Structure 1
Amino acid sequence: MTLTDEQQAVKDAFVRAGGTWGEPWERMLELDPAFVRAYADLAAVPVRHGALEPKVRELLHVAVDAAATHLHTPGVRQHVAAALAAGATPQEVMEVLELTSTLGIHAANIGVPLLVEVLTEEGLRDGPAPLDERQERLKAEFTATRGYWHSFWDEILELDPDLFEAYVAFSSVPWHTGTLEPKVKELVYCAFDASATHLYVPGLKLHLRNALGHGASVAEILEMFEIASLVGIHAAMTGAPILAELAARDGTIDV
């Protein structure tokens, strides 16, 4: 593709802003250069604000793209490479992936309270059972490791202590062995909870409070939201090459 002066200017601005150029962007550029320019301006907002160090910005991108609710492999590759180039260690990137892998427990965080609600409505439950010695120990261990307790754990601990115990061991690994500061860990949780592909409100509110408690500034939290908000571009990144291919086959455009 031979770029027009307008298209070349858009591409140059995109690359200067830190974007990684590739085939999807080439296709978008030929279809709608104004859209690519507008996205480049949107993606540059967290970079201009600069509340987070570049390494952390890229790690948050990794969390959003690698989350089980999104799994945007090209984005994971791009942002892992960018995080390493910005000074992240492989261990830090792995830590982000470990933190992001905890997303699956939200099935139980949402499902078990609803089960309790249905059991109560059906007359099959008249209140919580007292915790036994093992359950009290598990609650204390979780609180000591993670620094908080939330009511959405109560019924999981009561009804399925085996799941809770295994989850505590699984989710605590990066807190025992990782090197990212707690503030960054909490921002990782916030990023995938806030993403449009997940929108897990109870977890987001909890981890916002935790992030503030670990010293995160409002500017850093807003920058995390700015990063998570970029997930929508993957509609165009995925669809534009398909559109360009089919339109070229039909003779609608010349690729």
Structure 2
Amino acid sequence: MLDLDPEFLDKYADLAAVPDRRGALPEKVRHFIRLAVAANSTHLYLPPVRGHIRRALDAGATPQELMEVLECCATLGIHAMNIGVPILVEVLEEAGVRSGASELTEYQERLKAEFTANRGYWHSFWDEILELAPEFFDAYTEFSSVPWKTGTLEPKVKEFIYIAFDTAATHLYTSGLRLHLQNAVGYGATAEELIEVMEIASTLGIHGLLEAAPILQEESGGRDERA
């Protein structure tokens, strides 16, 4: 990038440094956000992961905190159910197989209460998953609650992690983004902190250039040599 277009690299460096100059988030939390953007399953851009982990440790993060960031990222897979189950319900109702929601059993009511206690919220997009797949929802509640029951990050920071990968261009899960923004505000997050999370996530586009620029340089250099 420096060889091919130093001005562009300079402008990117200025863009990426805005959150660092403003500093609404602690330094280690900014590295948590960068790690969440790179290491979540819809992007999984591995080259910078080691650097983000190293710089977070240098800024005072513990291995437990960083593991918790990765554990929060691992919950992204549930969005297949959040998106898929409502569509399944529509299909079943169109086919006349389903006529409406069933009354929750005692087991399902207990699961709803446990999720609300462990995760600190309930949202209507869980209703149909709880109804149609209670055993899966039970297992997911236990899986997703680990950072909330044994973790060391404060609740709003965990919400920042969810916000980071929900708002990232490779995912754009808007219903989850709205929910986690609301949760973060409820935990005391400021507008400045939340904007900073999204500013960090918005630099994801440079990863394509980091991969493609060396190829461009290699190919164009080869042509020069052949000429």
Bin the TM-score by the shorter chain: over 0.9
2:185 corresponds to 1:212:
yes
CA RMSD of aligned residues (A): 1.0
2:125 corresponds to 1:125:
no
SS in 1 for 2:35: helix
In the alignment, the residues of structure 2 paired with residue 48 and residue 128 of structure 1 have an alpha-carbon distance, to the nearest angstrom, of 51
Structure 2's unaligned 5+ residue stretches are: none
Give the aligned partner of residue 8 of structure 1.
none
Give the aligned partner of residue 35 of structure 2.
62
Within-5 A mapping of 1:50-129:
50-129=23-102
* TM-score, structure 2 as length reference: 0.98
Within-5 A mapping of 1:10-89:
28-89=1-62
Aligned letter for 1:205? R
Deviations 1:9-30 (A, max 9, x none): xxxxxxxxxxxxxxxxxxx000
Give the aligned partner of residue 187 of structure 1.
160
Q: Aligned pair count?
A: 226
Sequence identity percentage:
64
The alpha carbon displacement at 1:245 in A equals 1.4
The alpha carbon displacement at 1:252 in A equals 6.6
* TM-score, structure 1 as length reference: 0.87
Deviations 1:17-75 (A, max 9, x none): xxxxxxxxxxx000000110010110011111110000000001000100100001012
SS in 2 for 1:77: helix
In the alignment, the residues of structure 2 paired with residue 61 and residue 70 of structure 1 have an alpha-carbon distance, to the nearest angstrom, of 12
The alpha carbon displacement at 1:133 in A equals 0.8
In the alignment, the residues of structure 2 paired with residue 80 and residue 251 of structure 1 have an alpha-carbon distance, to the nearest angstrom, of 39
2:112 corresponds to 1:139:
yes
